[in-house]
A = this chain, B = another copy of it.
Amino acid sequence: MIKEVQEYMSAKNFSKLKEYLEVLNSADIPLLFDNLDEEQIIIVYRLLSKDKAVEVFAYMESDMQEKLINALTDKELKEVVDELFMDDTVDLIEEMPANVVKRILKTVNNDDRKIINELLNYPEDSAGSIMTTEFIDLKENMTVNQAINKIKKIGIDTENIYTCYVLTMTRELIGTVSLKDLILTDDGVIIKDLIQKNPVKVNTLDDQEDVVKKFDKYDETALPVVDKENRLVGIITIDDAIDVLQEEVNEDFEIMAAMAPSEDKYFKTSVFTHAKNRIVWLLLLMISAALTGGIITNYENAFAAVPILVSFIPMLMDTGGNCGSQTSTLIIRGLAQDEIKTKDFLKAWWKEIRVAVLVGIALFIVNTIRIMIQYNNMQLAMVVGITLFAVVLLSKSLGCILPMIAKKLKLDPAIMAAPLITTIVDTCSVLIFFNVALLIMNI
């Protein structure tokens, strides 16, 4: 792709280049830009047809958008902004530096500026902050024919014309009509007879995570967003919901690996920011782990008497950590997907206890065999085996309970993932281990 473009470019064969660009997918062209210098980007961009140029612009990363805007004339910028859907305009304004925002807002008429300001005012991560304001609204008493004519008139500027929204005179949402139903129904039928009442909808202040869950559950491609008075103020389309889903998943992965979540991509994040995002949790966990070390010093006599005990610490710590993170991962995911609810607390715990017993027995047996072969010391095998069993039971219980408590306390359950569980389980395993050893070995 890049080869062709550079060939046409160096041959100054712009008509061929224009032709070539026109068949490329708008989502692919920004990738092309990564390999061109600024001047070349402007040339390519200006060769695009107007519709395509706007699509390409919407697909671009914000640093690229900024560069491009700086190269565009005010008239060209106005053309872009006029054609962008409202949610994309708002995204753009949120990302650009003040001087660029000023230029953008200058191109916008008063009505749109009012809408933009309203959208900017919705809390971050709310449904209102990701919705767009272009949609097809119909009235109950329209005929199918009138409805289709309305769609023909305003559809060109609307992101999603496949679900139409039926509103009262005061713009309250009554229900939806799909374009499919309109197309498949005779012209004279009244919209009232086609309405899907009780539509799935979200509120402007709903969390975007809940919006994604509704998309997933109800298999919709767009959801209406209403205000407190049930007036339709916007819609969210599925492509934006997927972006949110990916963002939320990445956030969970990052939190679960003990990092401050970041919305930026890996290579786009500076070394300094990467380090900053990781240091806080590392320090916290390092200090907690130091406590485990402190506990060990209390048992100096034990391992001075039986030095071999020390060599089991890593295995017990790791196994406890792994057992706990298995459980906490499943519970955190289940909670995130509403498959496990906090009221299922005892049900989940009881499940984990039974799993822990099975797992504990398996590890006990394998471990006993190993120790008997290696050291032929039944007492040692029992000390390690009993500790192992207790650690499995404990870590699986904590892995189940802690995320649910976090959820109940309205914290993000993802913080109760492997790193924190591991640190807590470590302390407990060391305590259990030395106490079992003292008891059985009569040290």
Contact = CB atoms under 8 A, between A and B. Distances in A.
Interface in A286-306: 286-287, 289-290, 292-294, 296-297, 300, 303-304
A426 interface: yes
The number of times this chain is found in the oligomer is: 2
A267 B347 contact: yes
A245 B248 CA distance: 13
Contacts of A376: none
Dominant secondary structure at the A interface: helix
A322 B430 contact: no
Contact of A238 (B238, B330, B344, B423): B238
Given A152-B184, A307-B303, A363-B282, A322 B258 contact: yes
Contacts of A304: 304, 307
Interface in A313-343: 313-315, 317-319, 321-323, 325-326, 328-331, 333-334, 337, 339-340
Interface in A323-375: 323, 325-326, 328-331, 333-334, 337, 339-340, 344, 347-348, 351, 354-355, 358-359, 362-363, 366-367, 370
A242 interface: yes
A147 to B, nearest CB: 11
Contacts of A311: 293-294, 296-297
A437 interface: no
A326 B278 contact: yes
A198 interface: yes
A267 B257 CA distance: 25
A89 B307 CA distance: 64
B317 A317 contact: yes
Interface in A259-273: 259, 265-267, 271-272
Contacts of A315: 286, 289-290, 292-293
Nearest to A58: B219
A390 interface: no
A308 interface: yes
25 contacts: A23-B198, A27-B218, A148-B183, A151-B183, A152-B183, A162-B162, A179-B183, A216-B242, A238-B242, A249-B249, A267-B339, A271-B354, A275-B362, A279-B359, A282-B319, A289-B314, A292-B314, A297-B310, A300-B307, A304-B304, A313-B313, A313-B314, A314-B317, A314-B426, A325-B418
Given A257-B329, A297-B310, 14 more contacts: A179-B183, A216-B243, A254-B329, A257-B322, A257-B326, A266-B339, A267-B348, A267-B351, A285-B319, A289-B314, A292-B315, A293-B315, A294-B311, A313-B314
